[in-house]
Chains A and B, each alone.
Chain A
Amino acid sequence: EADIYQTPRYLVIGTGKKITLECSQTMGHDKMYWYQQDPGMELHLIHYSYGVNSTEKGDLSSESTVSRIRTEHFPLTLESARPSHTSQYLCASSPVGISYEQYFGPGTRLTVT
């Protein structure tokens, strides 16, 4: 079944640790996105990609980095986690061509202690 997957779903980690949040999609979409979402707030775009080896920063400044080596895989990495990184991280993808609709994974709830 075509879908978009995120792992882990929940992560509690100490300050200073390096973490990678995984996102994979089996829908053949070329466009992929990472959002940060805090409770009661709108989604903030932190990274996006329009294809392999294409990555851009979004509107919200983030200390994270992303890579897009394969079409289906778009991991997000934090080199040194801080309590200010505590948030929900949502991955999304969008179909090939002129399409704005986005399909979301279940999210990763990150807590940095």
Chain B
Amino acid sequence: AQSVTQPDIHITVSEGASLELRCNYSYGATPYLFWYVQSPGQGLQLLLKYFSGDTLVQGIKGFEAEFKRSQSSFNLRKPSVHWSDAAEYFCAVRGDSNYQLIWGAGTKLIIKP
């Protein structure tokens, strides 16, 4: 069965520092992978997606993610975080059926001034 693991429940990063959020997935075929961001009290916004092709994917707000099949990972990165990046980040992979997504539990990003 498909699954998504985000090993870090919370991550604290200083403003201006680089960021990497981890995502590991379990999926038999070629995965469709997504990163979403959720600001407090809001819905989820799509940051980026990977379907095929270049394994380094660029997204909105300066984020990028790299698909590594050998490690079953799709880690999210940003070279320099801003206080406005404080939010919860969710990784997702497509399910086997019916256009559903399988979600990770999320990583809460805390920015230190």
Which parts of A87-113 form the interface with B (CB within 8 Å)?
A: 90, 92, 94, 99-107, 109
Which parts of B26-61 form the interface with A (CB within 8 Å)?
A: 32, 34, 36, 41-46, 49
Contact (Cβ within 8 A) B32 A107: no
How far apart are the CA atoms of A17 and B106 in the complex, in Å? 32
Q: Which of B16-24, B64-72, B76-84, B95-103 contacts A (4 or more CB under 8 A)?
A: B95-103
Q: Does B74 contact A (CB under 8 A)?
A: no
Range class of the B interface residue count: 20 to 34
How far apart are the CA atoms of A102 and B45 in the complex, in Å? 9
List A residues at the B interface (Cβ < 8 Å). Answer: 4, 6, 31, 33, 40-43, 45, 48, 50, 56, 58, 90, 92, 94, 99-107, 109
Number of A-B contacts (CB under 8 A): 56
Contact (Cβ within 8 A) A105 B43: yes
Contact (Cβ within 8 A) A106 B42: yes
Contact (Cβ within 8 A) A43 B49: no
Q: Does B11 contact A (CB under 8 A)?
A: no
How far apart are the CA atoms of A60 and B52 in the complex, in Å? 30
Contact (Cβ within 8 A) A42 B105: yes
A104: B residues at CB distance < 8 A: 36, 43-45
How far apart are the CA atoms of A107 and B49 in the complex, in Å? 22
